[in-house]
């Protein structure tokens, strides 16, 4: 995989982190257990961590899937963002990518994007919607994959 493709994967991770942080940040405490008719938000956040840890394990050749036991909302959110940092660090390095980057995108990364969309929808259903914004104008920065993200540039009222 050439550097341009790795850079695109890294920017995708930054986009995923930006959107995930918006859905997790300042969620009311009761949101973690909201019953929207499927997985709870807490379960989804735990699954996000599983997906990104799995993606890293495929990238580095270990190929390990493991469902972590849920702890607390804040710990599982921190685990997700830590996994994002580890995965981004690997992609930023010169270490060999031991799987097809397109498969990483179509599998765990696309799945994670879907689940972040679920969290946004569940926030609205729970009566705690996230700030709507123009994501094209958002300050998404390659390498910024933690919970601390830029504020919306163009909130939509």
34 band by pLDDT with thresholds 50, 70 and 90: very high
**How far is 25 from 41, CA to CA, in rounded Å?**
13
What is the reported pLDDT for 157?
65
**How far is 103 from 4, CA to CA, in rounded Å?**
16
**How far is 52 from 150, CA to CA, in rounded Å?**
22
- Of the candidates 39, 126, 105, 43, the residue with the CA atom closest to the CA atom of residue 80: 43
Fold of 3-125: 1.20.120
Give the model confidence (pLDDT) of 103-142 as tens digits.
999 999 999 999 999 999 999 999 999 989 999 999 999 9
DSSP string computed for 50-87:
HHHHHHHHHHTT-----PPPP--HHHHHHHHHHHHHHH
The verdict on pTM exceeding 0.85 is yes
- Is it the case that residue 143 has pLDDT exceeding 90? yes
**How far is 63 from 43, CA to CA, in rounded Å?**
22
| Contact present, 54 and 108 (Cβ < 8 Å) | yes
Q: Where are the domains of the chain?
A: 3-125
């Amino acid at each position: 995989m050439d550097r341009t493709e790795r850079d695109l994967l890294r920017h995708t991770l930054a986009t995923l982190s930006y959107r995930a942080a918006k859905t997790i940040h300042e969620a009311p405490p009761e949101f973690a257990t909201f019953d929207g008719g499927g997985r709870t938000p807490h379960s989804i956040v735990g699954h996000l961590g599983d997906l990104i840890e799995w993606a890293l394990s495929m990238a580095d050749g270990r190929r390990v899937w493991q469902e972590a036991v849920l702890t607390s909302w804040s710990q599982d959110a921190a685990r997700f963002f830590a996994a994002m940092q580890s995965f981004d660090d690997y992609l930023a390095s010169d270490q060999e990518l031991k799987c097809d980057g397109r498969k990483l995108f179509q599998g765990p990364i696309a799945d994670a994007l879907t689940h972040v969309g679920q969290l946004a929808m569940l926030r609205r259903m729970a009566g705690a919607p996230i700030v709507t914004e123009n994501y094209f104008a958002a300050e998404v920065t390659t390498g910024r994959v933690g919970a601390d993200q830029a504020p919306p540039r163009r909130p939509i009222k």
